[in-house]
């Protein structure tokens, strides 16, 4: 979704150049349009990736941010309001993604880690001959290390 920020940046440049005009405006816009199309394609690919992997609330915020990307054909005041609305929607998406990616110490995560710790403690506190599978230092079919006696 970083590409959405690039889309808005390039759309802002094109919009202000269209509004102000001047010498070389058409050449400048012609130079920006291929980049704008490239970022648009990257953005759609990123949005599809989010739709594929993210939970529903992250997808909803991503799609809301996508819908709020300003149109370069808007009037200047409307365009600025659309940019402000996009930034707010993008911030909500970032917050939702952070919440999804963050590790929260929920009871099931704590319980899982506790069970894992107990298993490792009990399994590796036994002598290696008593372990099932021979432990990590023995390969499949390997003999135990020779005794020093």
**Tokens for 96?**
């939702």
Residue pair 128/138 in contact by the 8 Å Cβ criterion: yes
CA distance 90 to 68: 9
Give dist(CA 41, CA 33) in Å, integer: 12
Q: Are the CB atoms for 86 and 8 separated by under 8 Å?
A: yes
What is residue 131's DSSP assignment? S
∠ CA 58-77-2, rounded to 5°: 30
Q: In this structure, are residues 43 and 3 in contact, taking their beta carbons and an 8 Å threshold? A: yes
Using an 8 Å Cβ cutoff, are 134 and 144 in contact? yes
Read off the pLDDT of each residue in 90-108 and give the average, rounded to a whole number: 80
Identify the pLDDT of residue 139. Answer: 45
Query: Can you read off the two tokens belonging to residue 114?
Result: 């506790």
Q: What percent of the chain stands above pLDDT 90? A: 13
pLDDT of residue 132 exceeding 70: no
What is the predicted pLDDT for the residue at 135? Answer: 47
Q: Does 69 score more than 80 pLDDT?
A: yes
Residue 146 pLDDT class (50, 70, 90 cuts) = low
Position with higher pLDDT, 7 vs 127 = 7
More confident residue, 31 or 87: 87
In this predicted structure, the answer to whether residue 18 has a pLDDT above a threshold of 50 is: yes
Domain chopping of the chain, boundaries: 2-101, 106-135
Tokens of 31: 């130079």
């Amino acid at each position: 979704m970083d590409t959405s920020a690039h889309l808005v940046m390039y759309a802002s440049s094109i919009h202000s150049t269209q509004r102000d005009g001047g010498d070389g405006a058409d050449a400048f816009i012609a130079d920006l349009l291929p980049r704008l199309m490239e970022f648009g394609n990257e953005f759609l690919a990123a949005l599809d990736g989010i739709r594929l992997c993210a939970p529903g609330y992250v997808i909803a915020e991503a799609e809301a941010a996508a819908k709020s990307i300003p149109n370069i054909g808007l009037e200047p005041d409307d365009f600025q309001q659309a940019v402000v609305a996009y930034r707010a929607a993008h911030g909500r998406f970032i917050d939702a993604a952070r919440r999804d990616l963050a590790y929260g110490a929920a009871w099931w995560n704590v319980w899982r880690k506790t069970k894992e710790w107990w298993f490792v403690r009990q399994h590796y506190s036994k002598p290696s001959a008593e372990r099932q599978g021979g432990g990590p230092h023995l390969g499949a079919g390997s003999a135990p290390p020779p005794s020093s006696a």
